[in-house]
Amino acid sequence: RKEVEQDPGPFNVPEGATVAFNCTYSNSASQSFFWYRQDCRKEPKLLMSVYSSGNEDGRFTAQLNRASQYISLLIRDSKLSDSATYLCVAHSNDYKLSFGAGTTVTVRA
């Protein structure tokens, strides 16, 4: 079983819509969590850290549920430029980040 599991999607949404998706992690000792964005054939780029109390960064909201071991990302007012693969990441020990396989989001005009 992979440490981080994500629904691969794709999530196809119209511009301006809200889209939300989750991931689950298996290691209850995981301490830090992140969402990365990856465009086609590019490197992953840090989108935001995920804090226990939930946090927002503009149109993006991340939530962490430690009891159920899942993390969510919500994108409001979707833009065409939000089309990408979103990687869920758990930090489980001193050094290693474990990545999910990614959720693909396509925003259409």
Partner 1 sequence: DTGVSQNPRHKITKRGQNVTFRCDPISEHNRLYWYRQTLGQGPEFLTYFQNEAQLEKSRLLSDRFSAERPKGSFSTLEIQRTEQGDSAMYLCASSLDPRRGYGYTFGSGTRLTVV
Q: What is the contact surface with partner 1 in residues (CB under 8 A)?
A: 4, 8, 31-32, 34, 36, 41-46, 49, 87, 89, 91, 94-102
Q: How far apart are CA 8 and CA 46, in angstroms?
A: 19
Triad 72, 74, 78: Cα angle to 5°? 150
> Between 4 and 107, whose beta carbon lies closer to partner 1?
4
> Between 19 and 47, whose beta carbon lies closer to partner 1?
47
> Between 20 and 46, whose beta carbon lies closer to partner 1?
46
| Least Å from the CB of residue 21 to partner 1 | 14
| Least Å from the CB of residue 67 to partner 1 | 21
| Least Å from the CB of residue 100 to partner 1 | 5
